[in-house]
Amino acid sequence: MPDNNAKVEPRYGDKLQHMLSLVHPWYCVLCQQPARQAMDLCAACADDLPLLQQQCQRCAEPLSVVAAMCGRCQQRPPAFDRVFAAYLYAAPLQGMITAFKYQRQQVMGRVLAESTGRHIADAIHAGDLDTPQALLPVPLHRWRLLRRGFNQSWLIAMDWQRTLRQHAIDIPVQAAVLQRRRRTRPQAGLDLAARRRNLRDAFSLHATVPEHVCLVDDVMTSGSTVETCARLLKQAGCKRVDVWVLARASRTV
Ligand SMILES: [Zn+2]
Ligand SMILES: [Zn+2]
């Protein structure tokens, strides 16, 4: 098990990083100004990313009133146990994710993964988030993978693994556990019932899974995809399934 109490190295400002920045300066992907933190996002733009504030403790649905859980989780608890999202799916992050997924600007995904990765590390070190035994990227069907050229969830999981290691947290990425066995229509524009129908039997498991795993995806909206995967994992004996995403969109928008 990783030692979460190990001493955390200072994030910024160490001499090696400063020397590297002289050789390879970093420029912010949003404002194009030099960024000093050895990442392609400057501190000011990172501060402007929309943090997810009041939220359901279970599914991270943004809430306008103080409540532990949203109405839906109270009525019908989901198969997953906890969603962690540092950011709300809103500008400028929304455009960054579109550029990442559809315009092949992988640097956008990387800066968001690095930024959220630090939030995850902080939450783990503060005792607010448990460390899963494996990160499971939500898979793409191989046709979509061929067309897009990459699975965004896998890239995010790999960036999180790397970022968390810098904070003395080691979680392996197990990319082959979950597979998409049939092609599904894009979920956008479908209502909840149609999303569930669309996803029925869409995933399969190809390895034994540890007791505590974490699904990785880019954005969570209705939660239908991670709900389907979590149900499958629980049926296979998983005791706890968390979900980490870059951003949470409200179901009601
Ligand atoms: Zn900037
Ligand atoms: Zn909820």
**Between residues 36 and 225, the one the model is more confident about:** 225
Give me the pLDDT at residue 6, please.
36
Residue 87 has what DSSP assignment? E
Residue 138 in any domain: the answer is: yes
Token reading at 42: 């400057």
Q: What would the mean pLDDT of 81-109 be, rounded to a whole number?
A: 94
pLDDT bin (cut points 50, 70, 90) of residue 14 is low
Q: 84 CA to middle of ligand 2, Å? A: 12
Residue 155 in any domain: the answer is: yes
Nearest of 106, 96, 214, 205 to residue 155 by alpha carbon: 106
Ligand nearest to the CA of 71: 2
In this predicted structure, the answer to whether residue 2 has a pLDDT above a threshold of 50 is: no
Residue 218 in any domain: the answer is: yes
Q: 75 CA to middle of ligand 2, Å? A: 9
Residue 212 in any domain: the answer is: yes
pLDDT bin (cut points 50, 70, 90) of residue 4 is very low
Query: CA-CA distances (angstroms) from residue 244 to 27, 103, 143, 155, 170?
Result: 27, 23, 25, 13, 15
pLDDT bin (cut points 50, 70, 90) of residue 16 is low
Give me the pLDDT at residue 193, please.
75
10-24, 98-112, 153-167: the lowest-pLDDT one: 10-24
Residue 25 in any domain: the answer is: no
Nearest of 203, 124, 230 to residue 169 by alpha carbon: 124
Residue 40 in any domain: the answer is: no
Give me the pLDDT at residue 18, please.
58
Q: 165 CA to middle of ligand 1, Å? A: 25
Neighbours of 13 (CB within 10 A): 9
In this predicted structure, the answer to whether residue 93 has a pLDDT above a threshold of 50 is: yes
Give me the pLDDT at residue 24, please.
58
Strand partners, 85: 245
Give me the pLDDT at residue 15, please.
63
Q: 35 CA to middle of ligand 1, Å? A: 7
1-5, 110-114, 118-122, 135-139: the lowest-pLDDT one: 1-5
CATH of the domain at 147: 3.40.50
Give me the pLDDT at residue 5, please.
36
Residue 55 has what DSSP assignment? B
pTM: predicted TM-score of the whole model, two decimal places: 0.85
38-42, 96-100, 201-205: the lowest-pLDDT one: 38-42
Q: 166 CA to middle of ligand 1, Å? A: 23
pLDDT bin (cut points 50, 70, 90) of residue 180 is confident
Domains identified in the chain, total number: 1
Quote the percentage of the chain above a pLDDT of 90. Answer: 59
As to burial, measured by CB atoms within 10 angstroms (0-12 exposed, 13-18 middle, 19+ buried), residue 117 is: buried
In this predicted structure, the answer to whether residue 114 has a pLDDT above a threshold of 50 is: yes
pLDDT in tens, 46-89: 899 999 999 999 999 999 888 889 999 999 999 999 999 999 99
Residue 39 in any domain: the answer is: no
Q: 80 CA to middle of ligand 2, Å? A: 11
Token reading at 97: 């994710």
Domain region containing 140: 51-248
Q: Which helix (H) or strand (E) holds 242?
A: strand 240-248
Token reading at 88: 């709300």
32-46, 92-106, 203-217: the lowest-pLDDT one: 32-46
Ligand nearest to the CA of 85: 2
Q: 48 CA to middle of ligand 1, Å? A: 9
Residue 26 in any domain: the answer is: no
In this predicted structure, the answer to whether residue 7 has a pLDDT above a threshold of 70 is: no
Q: 133 CA to middle of ligand 2, Å? A: 24
